[in-house]
Structure 1
Amino acid sequence: MKKYFALALATLAFWGVSRADNPIVQTHFGPDPAPMVYNGTLYAYVGDDIPGFDFYYMTKWHVLSTTDMVNWTDYGTPISLESFKWARDRAWAAQCIERNGKFYWYVCAQSNKNDMAIGVAVSDSPTGPFKDALGKPLIINGSWSNIDPTVCIDDDGQAYLYWGNGSLFYVKLNKDMVSYSGDIVTVPISVESFGGVRGNKSVENPNKDMYVEGPWFYKRNNLYYMMYAGMGKGGETLSYSSSNSPIGPWKYQGKIMENQKTNSFTNHGGIIDYKGNSYLFYHTGLLPNGGSYGRAACVEQFTYNPDGTIPSVSISKEGPKPIGCINPYKRVEAETMAWSEKCSISQNEKLGVYVSSTRSKGYIKVREVDFGNQYPKSFSASLAAGVDGGILEVRLDSVSGPVISSTQLPRTGGWDKFKTFTSELKHKVTGKHDVYFYFNGQNITLGRELFNFDWWKFQ
């Protein structure tokens, strides 16, 4: 039996049983990804589309993190429209940056004056809690173009905040990161600087592209980059310009992503280096029930050309290769996952974030779990159920792989009454595996909620 089990594992490993891991989060729609690296961890700040409406109906933002580029931990919603007394609607794209141990999250929202405004929230932690730093917008002037803020701190300490829809603007932020000096500057847009300009009918110098919205401003190897959503056939591209100065003049360089089957008219991206690799973040509407108003963050690895230009990047179902692994002998939050189906994320002040709304035949996939050379003997999980909760199965290397642990979950006294359940492993396991937490609703009405799941650990 042991020999047969080892052969089965070897066969699964040989065939590389896996599935798509883009988008990076599936429990909610998280568009407009803005990556940030801090203390060896990559964070992604995303929005929260509410599908089913013919508009970008968004009321809050989420924080995700990874150390291996394949498993992402969801920290829930540290800020929302309710966090800003001046905001009433349209919690659109945002970006967070660290300075002197503080984290500044620049957001845009429709103000109570019925225009778009840019505000800033601050925290001592990249995952919050955040609070409105000013109690009022940082940028408000009656314009509907005050959207999609992007921020970068130059090597000399000067911080710049860019934003804009249709037009591009910037200010120089003060060192406190919540005020600015000087006037709002409007960036000149031309065919030479951003590939095109609205209303251009020149035959000699026609549009190649056009700045639309969603700027992403950063510096790399003494070159300044401005990526943005450009205009392509049937939807937005990701295009970019570069400069030798943080305030231009800008020179149009071309399109990074176009003519991709994203199932979304818009695109909004971010670029960052992490652990020696370069990554492009973007969003698609490819999740079930997704679309232009139900978008989710994705990521691709790429390599700059020797001259610093950015190559064309295509979307993939697989996403980047792993650059780390999960230690199963330390507590792992259940909301850390590479892929999931038939479950969601909930949070409250007492418990924090946990996996909820699990349904029969759903699962959580965690990649690159490294059991090492000494096999574990038992598995523990923190679970809660208001009624008889079904079965949590631990499977290896595929959703239909060998079951190494099975926990029959009774009522725990309520959906928020978590208890730790421990079960002996059925097989010896060593080395690296993808681990699937499978939700078995045997003898339970199909579609009924099974249990909530907080954390897991092997012993």
Structure 2
Amino acid sequence: MKKLLLAAALACGVAAVHAAPNPLFAPLYTADPAVLVDGGRVYLFAGRDEAEPEGKDYVMHEWRVFSTCDMVNWKDEGVPLKAATFGWAKGRAWASDVVKRHGRYWFYSTVEHATVPGFAIGVAVSDSPTGPFVDARGSALITNDMTKQTDIAWDDIDPTIFVDDDGQAWLYWGNTVLKAAKLKANMTELDGPITVVPVANFVEAPYLHKRKVRGKNVYYLSYSQHFPEETAYMTGPSPTGPWTPQGVVMERNTKTKTIHQAFFEFNGKSYVAYHNAELPGGGEFRRSVAIEEFSYRTDGTIPFIHQTKTGPKANPSAACRR
């Protein structure tokens, strides 16, 4: 049996490394992970932190994408798009999310608008998860003047995109105030009004996913709360709730005030991607993506997930043999 397992590991290229290190992608500094599972591979999109060691602001011009078929060996797939991909933006490749629909890949991202003061959300599309992505609208999907709940310039950030089994696409986003809207089937237009989701202590980084628990659909809406941030979540029976708070599942970081999660399933196991600042030279504006494996409790709730220096163990999919 041991010989068979070793042979399988060699075939998948994971014999030499049994677990990935945390954080990932050194020497690059990366943040705000978004995850897409497609064709037996995990595609992880992240903004690249480019600030100097003593920098005092986020310097982010592009997103990077990395892929793996075994959760250990990652391939740097390069730059699928930049903030400059959106001709109407003046920069800031902040948090994003991605989904596959109609055989294409849709990327929702935060950038700073060039003519409408404040941050905005754009939509890019590609025929491949590794890009290149192009602007799907030629204009922003969400601009700061469309939402009046706060007077801050950064309340329209951190989009998460979720397509339910009935085909309805949902967009959640926000800072300080959590906002939501339906999308039309074309994935580039709102389908109805923007609504506000009341969440105590909400700061940013909403993420929506769904699982079956004891035969019923359970929707999980996770987010960052307080500042410095910690990861909390709520559950509900639909994409709009009603939501039941479930508590904190990841503690705040020590070297950066932010943390940004993305939950996903791969090859029969559950994972959460997030960022800290634990790579050498890391800090507030030089963050680093990491991943933890975890198991849901029998009632479907998420346990407290500790950050580790050793990431997930090898979990090769059939794609490793291709």
Same fold (TM over 0.5): yes
Q: Could you tell me which amino acid in structure 2 is paired with residue 265 of structure 1?
A: K
Residues 328 and 148 of structure 1: CA distance in aligned 2, closer, same or farther (over 3 Å): closer
**Contact preservation (8 Å) 2:70, 2:320:** no
**Contact preservation (8 Å) 1:260, 1:315:** no
Deviation, 1:78, is 1.4
2:164: which partner in 1?
154
Deviations 1:254-274 (A, max 9, x none): 00111554x221000100011
Q: Could you tell me which amino acid in structure 1 is paired with residue 290 of structure 2?
A: C
Residues 90 and 327 of structure 1: CA distance in aligned 2, closer, same or farther (over 3 Å): closer
Q: Distance in 1 between matches of 2:265 and 2:318?
A: 21
Q: Distance in 2 between matches of 1:75 and 1:17?
A: 20
Is 1:323 equivalent to 2:318 in the alignment?
no
Q: Distance in 2 between matches of 1:144 and 1:260?
A: 22
For the residue of structure 1 that corresponds to 2:230, the secondary structure is strand
1:74: which partner in 2?
76
1:216: which partner in 2?
207
1:30: which partner in 2?
30
Deviation, 1:81, is 1.5
Q: Could you tell me which amino acid in structure 1 is paired with residue 188 of structure 2?
A: V
Deviation, 1:20, is 6.7
Q: 2:118 aligns with which of 115, 120, 123?
A: 115
Q: Could you tell me which amino acid in structure 2 is paired with residue 182 of structure 1?
A: G
**Contact preservation (8 Å) 1:29, 1:295:** yes
**Contact preservation (8 Å) 2:236, 2:244:** yes
Q: Note the aligned Cα RMSD (angstroms).
A: 2.1
Deviation, 1:288, is 1.3
Q: Distance in 1 between matches of 2:210 and 2:320?
A: 37
Deviations 1:47-86 (A, max 9, x none): 0111222112211101111110011111111111211111
**Contact preservation (8 Å) 1:51, 1:290:** no
2:182: which partner in 1?
172
Is 1:281 equivalent to 2:235 in the alignment?
no
Deviation, 1:137, is 0.2
Q: Distance in 2 between matches of 1:101 and 1:75?
A: 20
Deviations 1:6-53 (A, max 9, x none): xxxxxxxxxx99897111211311101111111111111100111222
**Contact preservation (8 Å) 2:176, 2:203:** yes
Deviations 1:262-319 (A, max 9, x none): x221000100011000001110111111111001110000000111100000111110
Is 1:104 equivalent to 2:96 in the alignment?
no
Q: 2:97 aligns with which of 95, 99, 118?
A: 95
Which consecutive residues of structure 2, in runs of 5 or more, have no partner in the other structure?
A: 1-15, 146-152
Q: Distance in 2 between matches of 1:306 and 1:173?
A: 33
Residues 19 and 181 of structure 1: CA distance in aligned 2, closer, same or farther (over 3 Å): closer
Deviation, 1:93, is 0.2
Q: 2:251 aligns with which of 250, 258, 267?
A: 258
Residues 260 and 79 of structure 1: CA distance in aligned 2, closer, same or farther (over 3 Å): closer
Q: 1:270 aligns with which of 245, 262, 266?
A: 262
2:44: which partner in 1?
44
Q: Distance in 2 between matches of 1:220 and 1:121?
A: 27
Alignment of 1:9-24 (within 5 A): 21-24=21-24
Residues 265 and 141 of structure 1: CA distance in aligned 2, closer, same or farther (over 3 Å): closer
Residues 306 and 58 of structure 1: CA distance in aligned 2, closer, same or farther (over 3 Å): same
Residues 259 and 77 of structure 1: CA distance in aligned 2, closer, same or farther (over 3 Å): closer
Is 1:308 equivalent to 2:300 in the alignment?
yes
Runs of 4 or more, structure 1, over 6 Å off, are 16-20, 325-330
1:340: which partner in 2?
none
Q: Could you tell me which amino acid in structure 1 is paired with residue 29 of structure 2?
A: F
For the residue of structure 2 that corresponds to 1:212, the secondary structure is strand
1:184: which partner in 2?
194
Q: Could you tell me which amino acid in structure 1 is paired with residue 281 of structure 2?
A: N
Q: Distance in 2 between matches of 1:154 and 1:326?
A: 26
**Contact preservation (8 Å) 2:19, 2:72:** no
Q: Distance in 2 between matches of 1:243 and 1:19?
A: 34
2:130: which partner in 1?
127
For the pair shown, the structure with the greater C-alpha radius of gyration is: 1
Q: 1:230 aligns with which of 225, 234, 251?
A: 225
Deviation, 1:324, is 2.2
Residues 27 and 260 of structure 1: CA distance in aligned 2, closer, same or farther (over 3 Å): closer
Deviations 1:182-207 (A, max 9, x none): 11111123xxxxxx3xxxxxxxxxxx
Q: Could you tell me which amino acid in structure 1 is paired with residue 168 of structure 2?
A: Q
Residues 290 and 248 of structure 1: CA distance in aligned 2, closer, same or farther (over 3 Å): same
Is 1:136 equivalent to 2:139 in the alignment?
yes
Q: Could you tell me which amino acid in structure 2 is paired with residue 127 of structure 1?
A: T
Q: Distance in 2 between matches of 1:77 and 1:286?
A: 23
